[in-house]
Structure 1
Amino acid sequence: MKFSFDSKRPLLGLLSLVLLLPSCKEAVVTEAPPLKVNVVTAIQNDVPLYEEFVAQVYGKSDVDIRARVEGWVTSVNFKEGSAVKKGQLLYTIDDIEYKNRMDRQASEVTRANTELVRAESELSRVRPLTELNALSQKDLDNAVAEYEAAKAHVNATQSSLDNAKIELGYTRVYAPFDGIIGISNVREGDYVSRVGGSSVLATISSVDGVRVRFQISEREYLRIAQLSMEERAEARNNVQLILADGTVYSEMGSVSFGDREIDPSTGTLTLEASFPNPTGLLRPGLFVKARILMSTYPGAVMVPQRAVAQLQHIAQVYVVTDSSSLQVTSVETGPKVGDAWIIKSGLKAGDRVAIIGAAGLTADSKIEVVDQKWPEDQK
């Protein structure tokens, strides 16, 4: 059997297959959808620059009420933590011993006065007789000495009586001024002394005004000291309080004094500011932040801190272009103010910048702008 073989047929088939392959494969070109990016507008304002310091509140007056005599507490006449008035009775201490002492001193005064009368009478008798030479000069000198001694004894016993009356008065403990009294350290039946730990009965604080103390570092002190006189005066009279819940206290305060020296153990200087407290909101011991206006940055351009990318010493922002794409711009940052960053150069007011953090966000990315209100309190 013979097979016929055409050498041209396989070549033609292969060529036909090659020509058909491009027509069987369609080119697929996909374009990524634009990324949704939150965008804010750079703003420009005169910005007050503050410094914040951890501080503690003290009463305008914080006075320990101490026992000035020894004895048993017979009554406690106030409610702990309540407001008290000047002159209000707080404690009574057993006064029998002090009454007896006062009575003894009163009898001594009576005896001394009797002796003074006798000595005065004797001097009145001796003096004319001495002038008539009926008695010697020595007799007159003795009579004068007895009279002066009797008079001095009256003064001494009267002083002892006065002291006994004062100690008797100390058995009644009164409030020295209007204020709020704290927890009592003693109860009825406790023994108190004028020395030692038992002498402090309670503490009263005057809270119609308060003192706030805080410390600044040596570096902060030097920076403040180099401010102009006008800037220091403005800083001194513009002190705010940030309360523990983050709210700003409604009343402004002023720095009343600074300590005489830098504490060598901590390297800090203690300052004290005074604040009115008309509602009694502030209590002694409260921890707050003292915020002081140091200066004002005029015409500051600001963007949110989260819109600034930092890499080592380089700061960049993503600026939205007219074609809804992003352009990386290097900026020079200034101080931080709240959640914002002051931009010293590289941006101008009205520039729109992207909030960093969107996945796949790069320069020249096509974006879909989602405008965000910033700052949050703007209308």
Structure 2
Amino acid sequence: MWAQSYRSGDSFPYLGHTKGRDYNFPSTDHTENVWLVSCLLWLLLFSEACGTKSASASPGAPPTVQIVEVTQQDVPVYHEWIATLDGYVNAIIQPQVSGYLIKQNYREGALVRKNDVLFKIDPRPFQAVLDQNKAQLAQAEAQLGKTQLDVQRDTPLAKEKAIAQSQLDNDIQANLAGKATVQADKAAVEQAEINLEFTNVRSLVDGVAGIATGQVGNLVGPQTVLTTVSQLDPIKAYFVVSEQQYLAFVQRNPTVASREKTERQLVLELILADGSKYPMKGKFFAADRHVDAQTGSIRLAGLFPNPDNVLRPGQYGRVRFVSYVRPAALLVPQKAVTELQGTYQVAVVGSDDKVSIRTVQVGERSGPMWIIEHGIKPGERVVVEGVQKVRDGMPVKIASATASPAGS
């Protein structure tokens, strides 16, 4: 890298002769190389800067977008609500007499039939009461027989004045009292028999019996809940609608007859918690009598067939149905509509392939589509892919897309 040393007595180019010192300087070849590399670097940087400026100055190609035409058709409008499932009948099983549980006769969670014995209460005290009442009835019937004989014997004697009339009167009153006593004792026997039967705690409906809350050995009474039996086929789905939605329904169906007709025609769908659709359709069952003053909503109920007991009380889901049909609705895919601070806009492509950003008023959703109330016309083209790349007045390159059908 360095030139040879110039010793004492040698001459040094450019500076003449020098003596007595050694000098080490870079060679002229190296200096020329450094200057050459520097010039090349400057030329490279300058050419890149010029190229960038030239590229930025030249206009880019129009963005490619996909479009669909605004369609117009009659659209069924679905409404959807959160629903809670419950048994068609939920019979709370409570004993009607007090005593100790001695047996549970059903398997928890199993299907039981009406009149099946679910629990058994110790019957011995009730059997004893029944036996005692039967004995009292027998005694009363014997006493009644005696009073009847007294009346039969004393009646002719009283006519012949052989005995005082008061004696016959006493016999008659004793006989009437005996009859009343017999009737009372018969009622006591009947009640004792009923109480003895009540030691068999039975199901009053067909359904699925829940887990027992009373255990064998417990002292139970009429206030004790032993279990619940739920009738699950059909099963109820409760959901609430707002007061505004209810009033809109009334406005579309102003008479009782028209409302009842519409309710009979409703076909309910149930979306389960995992997002799957329950395969069987439901029907409208009832509307509550009042609007909740705190929530401003009214409770409705639907019925769904449940032959295999797949649905259980307490499950959550979503109930939906076609609330009405919107005639000649303008439809665009939901992905064509952008929202910013409550304002909805679509990018409309004109005949010159330039974009016009329109503010629109949206209505109901229908599946993947928006119903547009105002702002566009049938047949106009809206951007569905590449919306984020376009601006008002910008030319675009069209790549057509197929519009999604309206529906659920």
Q: Distance in 2 between matches of 1:41 and 1:232?
A: 39
Instruction: Give, in angstroms, the shift of residue 219 of structure 1.
Output: 2.3
Deviation string, structure 1 residues 276-301 (Cα, Å, up to 9, x no partner) = 33343322222222324321112222
1:263 to 279, 285, 292: 292
Instruction: Give, in angstroms, the shift of residue 113 of structure 1.
Output: 1.1
Q: Percent identity?
A: 31
TM-score, normalised to structure 2, is 0.77
2:176 to 132, 145, 148: 148
Instruction: Give, in angstroms, the shift of residue 117 of structure 1.
Output: 1.1
Over 3 Å counting, the alpha-carbon distance change for 1:288 and 1:117 in structure 2 is: same
Match of residue 279 from structure 2: 250
Instruction: Give, in angstroms, the shift of residue 153 of structure 1.
Output: 0.8
Over 3 Å counting, the alpha-carbon distance change for 1:32 and 1:220 in structure 2 is: same
Structure 1 residue runs of 5 or longer lacking an equivalent are 1-24
Match of residue 362 from structure 1: 391
Match of residue 186 from structure 1: 214
Q: Distance in 1 between matches of 2:69 and 2:320?
A: 28
Over the aligned positions, Cα root-mean-square deviation in angstroms equals 2.8
Q: Distance in 1 between matches of 2:98 and 2:358?
A: 78
User: Do residues 237 (structure 1) and 237 (structure 2) align?
Assistant: no
Instruction: Give, in angstroms, the shift of residue 344 of structure 1.
Output: 3.0
Over 3 Å counting, the alpha-carbon distance change for 1:328 and 1:263 in structure 2 is: closer
User: Do residues 283 (structure 1) and 278 (structure 2) align?
Assistant: no
Over 3 Å counting, the alpha-carbon distance change for 1:339 and 1:247 in structure 2 is: same
Q: How does 1:44-83 map to 2 (within 5 A)?
A: 44-83=72-111
Q: Distance in 1 between matches of 2:382 and 2:259?
A: 34
Q: Distance in 2 between matches of 1:347 and 1:359?
A: 20
Matched AA of 1:333: V
- 8 Å CA contact 2:336–2:387 kept in 1: the answer is no
TM-score, normalised to structure 1, is 0.82
- Report the structure number with the largest CA radius of gyration: 2
3-state DSSP class of the match of 1:221? helix
- 8 Å CA contact 2:123–2:196 kept in 1: the answer is yes
Q: Distance in 2 between matches of 1:129 and 1:235?
A: 81
Match of residue 203 from structure 1: 228
Q: How does 1:1-379 map to 2 (within 5 A)?
A: 28=54, 30-195=58-223, 199-228=224-253, 229=255, 230=258, 233-235=261-263, 237-240=265-268, 241-311=270-340, 314-321=343-350, 325-355=354-384, 359-375=388-404
Total equivalences in the alignment = 351
3-state DSSP class of the match of 1:204? strand
Q: Distance in 1 between matches of 2:349 and 2:308?
A: 50
3-state DSSP class of the match of 2:302? strand
3-state DSSP class of the match of 1:187? coil
- 8 Å CA contact 1:184–1:201 kept in 2: the answer is yes
Over 3 Å counting, the alpha-carbon distance change for 1:256 and 1:316 in structure 2 is: same
Q: Distance in 2 between matches of 1:305 and 1:359?
A: 14
Q: Distance in 2 between matches of 1:237 and 1:281?
A: 25
